[in-house]
């Protein structure tokens, strides 16, 4: 049997999504046809979340292709984030996970002082999960360029404290945050050397130094994870990360802290309520 070569996805552009399920299998190569069929089965509930896919050998026979080809079909669905293959076990339809919805209120001064909880902890516990934060390193380093810019550091003194934090929900790693603090602010405080921030957490200490969080800027992007992130956050195939560059700005419009977050997109989301200024 010969390989029937095809045009693939080279059509024009716009127009809405079609979810017709059938009639999609025109001239597509076998693995696409197979992927389409499986995808349809998943979306219409034939293969509910958690259920295992047919084995590659079964699929291969059913469609009259080599097992190799069946494996490729499965890989397509994996790259779309629809299924999950742990190690060498039978791939399963991915369960819909509940998201952590991180909002700006988590920086609220009042909330912080009332609950004493860190922003992350407050959010996770609201979801009935157990939060854990691991501070894995505290270093004094020159600020990376994109950090120095946002902190508005003088060119002749770009020393910052770099604090790396790993965030867990129910012992599953969900995000990493790297906080950069100008040396001038951190010097001589727990910010510079202790993982333990004390009452009111990080922002409590900034307040001690005269910086009350008044504005935040959050720059958000998304991309596929690097191999290191894949490993570190145990990110399944087909799941992107959300990048946030967070800048804390005080009552005098001065930035005093930048934190970059990298979060698994299947476990995290953002939720802002913003007042529109006239």
Task: Give residues in contact with a copy of itself (CB under 8 A).
Answer: 9-11, 13-19, 36, 39, 79-81, 87, 99, 101, 104-105, 107-110, 134, 136-137, 164, 166, 173, 213-232, 234, 237-242, 265-266, 269-278
Q: Which residue has the tokens 């969080």?
A: 213
Distance, CA of 192 to CA of 181 (rounded, Å)? 9
Distance, CA of 190 to CA of 196 (rounded, Å)? 7
Least distance to a copy of itself, CB of residue 199, Å: 18
Q: Which residue has the tokens 């696409």?
A: 32
Select the binding partner of residue 58 from DNA, a copy of itself, none (C-beta < 5 to 8 A, by kind): DNA
Residue 111's SS3 state is helix
Lay out the site mask for DNA across 5-34 (x = CB under 7 A, - = otherwise).
xxxx--------------------xxxx--
Select the binding partner of residue 19 from a copy of itself, DNA, none (C-beta < 5 to 8 A, by kind): a copy of itself
Query: In what helix (H) or strand (E) does residue 112 lie, and over which residues does it extend?
Result: helix 109-115
Answer yes or no whether residue 84 interacts with DNA by CB under 7 A: no
Burial grade of 42 (CB within 10 A; 0-12, 13-18, 19 or more): buried
Select the binding partner of residue 57 from DNA, a copy of itself, none (C-beta < 5 to 8 A, by kind): DNA
Distance, CA of 155 to CA of 149 (rounded, Å)? 10
Residue 163's SS3 state is strand
Least distance to DNA, CB of residue 29, Å: 3
Residues that bind DNA (CB under 7 A): 1-8, 29-32, 53, 55-58, 64-69, 71-72, 74, 85, 87-91
């Amino acid at each position: 049997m010969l390989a029937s070569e095809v045009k693939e996805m080279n059509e024009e552009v716009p127009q809405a999504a079609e979810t017709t399920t059938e009639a999609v299998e025109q001239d597509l190569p076998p693995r696409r046809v197979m992927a389409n069929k499986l995808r349809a089965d998943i979306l219409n509930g034939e293969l509910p979340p958690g259920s295992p896919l047919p084995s590659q050998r079964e699929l291969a026979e059913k469609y009259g292709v080599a097992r190799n080809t069946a494996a490729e079909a499965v890989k397509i669905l994996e790259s779309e984030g629809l299924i999950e293959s742990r190690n060498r076990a039978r791939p399963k339809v991915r369960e819909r996970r509940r998201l952590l919805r991180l909002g700006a209120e988590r920086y609220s001064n009042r909330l912080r002082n009332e609950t004493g909880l860190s922003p992350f902890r407050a959010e996770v516990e609201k979801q009935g999960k157990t939060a854990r934060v691991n501070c894995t390193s505290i270093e004094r380093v020159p600020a990376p360029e994109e950090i120095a810019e946002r902190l508005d550091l003088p060119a002749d003194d770009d020393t910052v404290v770099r604090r790396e934090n790993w965030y867990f929900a129910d012992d599953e790693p969900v995000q990493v945050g790297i906080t950069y603090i100008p040396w001038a602010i951190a010097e001589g405080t727990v910010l510079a050397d202790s993982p333990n921030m004390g009452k009111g957490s990080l922002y409590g200490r900034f307040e001690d130094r005269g910086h009350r969080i008044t504005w935040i800027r959050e720059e958000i992007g998304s991309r596929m994870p690097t191999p290191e992130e894949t490993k570190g956050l145990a990110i399944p195939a087909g799941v992107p990360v959300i990048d946030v560059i967070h800048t804390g700005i005080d009552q005098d419009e001065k930035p005093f802290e930048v934190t970059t977050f990298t979060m698994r997109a299947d476990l995290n989301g953002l939720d802002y309520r913003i007042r529109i200024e006239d």
